[in-house]
Structure 1
Amino acid sequence: MAAAVAVAIAVCAVACWIIVRGEMVKHLDRGLQGPPGPEGARKRAQDIAMILKHCADPRAARGDPLRAYVPPLQFIYAADGRRCVLSPGGLPVTAADRAIAAHGGKVIKDATTDSGMAVRVKTQQIAPGVAVMESRSLAELHSTLARLAGLLATVAALGALGAASVGLLISRTALRPVGKLTGAVEHVGRTGDLATRIPVEGTDEIARLGAAFNSMTSALARSRDRQRRLITDAGHELRTPLTSLRANIDLLLRSEHTGRAIDPAAKRRLLGSLKAQFEELSTLVGDLLQLARPEGDHKPGEPIAFHDLVGVAVARARLRAPAVHVTIDLSPWHVTGHAPTLSRAVMNLLDNAVKFSPPGGTVEVRLREGRLTVRDHGPGVPAEDLEHVFDRFWRSPTARSLPGSGLGLAIVAQAARDVGGEAGMANAQGGGAEAWMSLPGVVFSSPVNN
């Protein structure tokens, strides 16, 4: 910016000098035309007539006192190029000057006298075969233009310096937020401190960049905190099944090493426990992998008939829990998402309802305009626990004796958020709990009831 201002000042200074020079030259040329008005023209004609008579006298070649009373003039004759000089120094006569004396015309130009003085010369025919060359010194014009050039150069230099100073001040002020942002980024890169924030003022692009940086570090901090909590909670949850597995396997190994056989019934129970523990561990690892995936980090969605997906999940739930009656009331609903993820979320809702339903109880499944509700008729959820049911690894005190890792409903919430939906739970009127998942989508046909 400062460079552009300096160039603009320089261009203005040069233009000013050129304009002033042009006006001064015009003023000088007007002086060569003689006094203005009819009276001036008449007096000029009289002077020229007197000088022509004087030039006819050979004494004009010598320093005649007449030269002190007339302007710097020089007469030239076309016939032989002879000149009559009435000025401190004569002017060189060119072929163009002789042509004007012979044929007429007028020209104004710069020239140099015999003594080396720069002058402005007007050559004009005044009589057939005779032309007059009137000159004015350019010394004062050149001196004035030189002083003007020096003044303009000084002003331009001061202007450029001032522009550079102002530009530097403005750039430092404008780039100060960028410096803060750079420092914050370097600090985060050096220390990993995602709690770093920069102050945001205004609504310009720099402010938006600062706000975006703060949002990014906040999101990264939340993601890192979630991962840390997940690792900590996963380690705690994995410890129990791994300890149980290790104890059972140690018991089998000791039996083999000592030769002391285990009672067949006890061995069957032990192997059944091992299988159940492996299944629990496998489920827990799968849930952990599902939750470890950052939210929003999934493949592009595909069209899914969500009502069909729910119907398939209900059929599986009926096979897995034949003692519980599952009813469905489904309206067609089509969504865009990842079918395995949504299927697992629906199964988790059904498994949770079945787990808390008494033998012979009923689980009601209903889908209307993208809102899937699963209601059980169990004990319900204490009011103070409702806000925690979708937390990772959270289990109510009354459910800790039941199988599960505390990750099922957390997976439901994440699956809903992945497609722009949400999930929740509330106690139902008449007893039991009602979990729901609402997904954006479209309807294509009329409800189907079973």
Structure 2
Amino acid sequence: MRSRLLVIVLSLVILVLVGLGVPLALNVAGIEQQKLFLDRVGDTSRFASLAQNPLLADKPDLIRPELQRYHQVHGISVLVTDRENHFLVSSDDSIRVGDPRIADRLKLALAGRVPETETALMPWDSTPLVLAEPVRVGGEVRGAVVTVSPTGASRLRVLLWWSVMALASVAVLCLGVLLALPIVRWTLRPVRRLDEATGRMVASVVSGRPVEPVGGDTGPPELRHLTRSFDQMAASVSDVLAAQRAFVADASHQLRNPLTALRLRLGNLEGHVHEDSVDQHNAAMEETIRLNQILDELLAMARAEASSVEPVPAEVDAAVAERVDAWRVVAAARDIALSTRTEPELFALAPPRGVETVLDALLDNALKFSPDRSSVVVSAEEVGEMVVLTVRDHGPGLTAEELERATDRFWRSPSHQNITGSGLGLAIVRRVVERAGGSVRLDLPEGGGLAVVVELPALDLGPDEHA
């Protein structure tokens, strides 16, 4: 944005320089042209006066020495004709009556017209200045004098003036840049703080930490007002999310007691229920178990979102070995082969017990959706600056369109509605991983099933730190 503002400011400066410089440059060229014209008109008029007597006496050669001396000193050619436009005398052989430019000027002079100024003198126009003055004797035109003047010296002066103006314009442009930079920085400082605060707010909201205010009292008043409004909005968002998380946690915790009492009462009714109502009793028991599982996951989600504990080093390979051993009993009950492929001494940044929470949620899902006598593989490896943890099953998987929604809260695939679950497992995994600066993605591997890939920032701990 700073570059765009600088471009706008410099564009305005350039427009002003062009608007002032072009007329000034043309004015300089016009002044130089006028000076040259007036000087040459005076010389041409003087020669017209000198030619009066030689023309009356029909002795034009009397003026030749004067013309030649003038040509030698100033490099200007002079030509004298009679009233019939016949050549009489010239300063040198380079000037001819038949030249179109000279012929036009002679025609006007013999008609009694005096020379008129021409357009501005441009540095690239090397055309000589041609002036013709009538020779009058007693008010009658008796001939004409033509001068052909080179314009090199005048054009060089115009070019020098233009160069000075161009250098001055460049200096003004550089000065404009030097003045615009601090102004642009001062203007955009609140915007930069807002941009940084937005990133911090997202990280704070995800991790459950208080949102750091933007603050600052520099910049335009409108942007300072915007920063204050942003601080108020961020504080409100933080308060609302904190209240929401507290409500979820409190509600989940408070519901556990009546739910536990309900399960006890339903359990006490076992054996005392009429035969026609046994199925209803069993269904009620299953629903209480499902409600208890949902409450546990809600509490886990609330802890994952509300915890402000910073990520700590976690030994991923050890956590994989521990949690896979704990789930082997569940896998063995359905004849599911549960295996691991991990690199030794894998350390990553994660919330306390975060790797275990992620593995429990992923293994629960993998074993829940895997068919009997299938396999689930848990792998962990270091790739670049990340530790990649993958849980791959051979269940029904998801469609490509469903992969993006799989980590949303309470979302479940329409094809999985007959399998118990709350739709919070992957959402909890995503929250825990994002708090550590990692990411979660779902892949559809060859051979069917689903692969959940978790990436966590890797740590390279030395021997002392391992100990």
- Which of these two proteins has the greater Rg computed from alpha carbons? 1
